[in-house]
Amino acid sequence: MDVLSTEAHMQPVPAGRGDRVARTREAIVSSTLSLAQGGEVAPIVRDIAKLAGVSARTVFQHFADTAELYVAVLGRTLTTLTGEAPQVNRQWPLDKRIGVAVDHRAERYEGVRPMWTFLQTLQRRSAEAAAKIVQLYSGNREQISDTFGPELSALSQDKRERTLNALSVALTPESWIVLRERLGLTVEQAREEWRFIVKSIFSDNP
């Protein structure tokens, strides 16, 4: 992922353009996201500009370099992944809560599956991107802790932490990618495997 810096060519964006500036920036981010979702690991400026209907020069009037643009795309993606979680009643039976937790993550992770290589590459090249992805996993862990609070609170502190760790590892984007791409499972088969894994974790903690 070569980062193209164009500081020498950047021109300040004149004030007063308001909505037009925002629309152009949005078009650039959306175009980059579309290319990443199409499997591009490092979308190039020429293709981004063409899809957005602007010049390459315009791209660099809005973003200092491709790294900054990619991080903006990551922010958009993480907003999708960490959007409002479904309401879960902790009084629901365990099976129902497992189903909600699995279905919610399966839908979100399947949506970013085509661009997972892009996200992995970006976090290795950008400290800011890596920090944002850490927040994703922290949020996932917190949601899991809340969803399965009754079961976790019944365990000793050590066992509770280990169980929460196991659940947090099981319900990650990487786990979903393995089921879908490495094992070749369908979406529904992958969901069933996740349900089985989570139930198995709890079955070890009667």
How does pLDDT run across 18-65, given as a tens digit for each residue? Answer: 789 999 999 999 999 999 999 999 999 999 999 999 999 999 999 999
**Same-domain status, 62 and 106:** no
Displacement of CA 155 from its chain's centroid (Å): 31
Does some domain include residue 109?
yes
Determine the structural domain holding residue 31 and report its residue range: 19-76
How would residue 6 be classed by pLDDT, with cut points 50, 70 and 90? very low
Q: What is the mean pLDDT of the chain?
A: 90
For position 16, what pLDDT does the model report? 54
Residue 49: CATH number of its domain: 1.10.10
Domains in the chain, number: 2
Answer yes or no: do 114 and 162 share one domain. Answer: yes
Confidence band (pLDDT; 50, 70, 90) for 12?
low
Do 55 and 100 lie in one domain? The reply is: no
Q: State whether 178 and 92 are in the same domain.
A: yes
pLDDT score recorded for residue 17: 57
Q: What is the pLDDT of residue 1?
A: 45
- Is 141 in the same domain as 56? no
Among 76, 110, 144, residue at a domain's last position: 76
Half-sphere exposure of 180 (CA within 13 A, CB side): 18
pLDDT tens-place string over residues 95-137? 999 999 999 999 999 999 999 999 999 999 899 999 999 999 9
Q: Where are the alpha helices (DSSP H) in the chain?
A: 19-37, 45-52, 56-62, 66-81, 94-112, 116-125, 127-147, 149-153, 157-170, 173-177, 187-203
Residues 165, 106, single domain; the answer is: yes
**Residue 4 pLDDT:** 41
Three-state SS at 79 = helix
Give yes or no for residue 172 having a pLDDT over 70.
yes
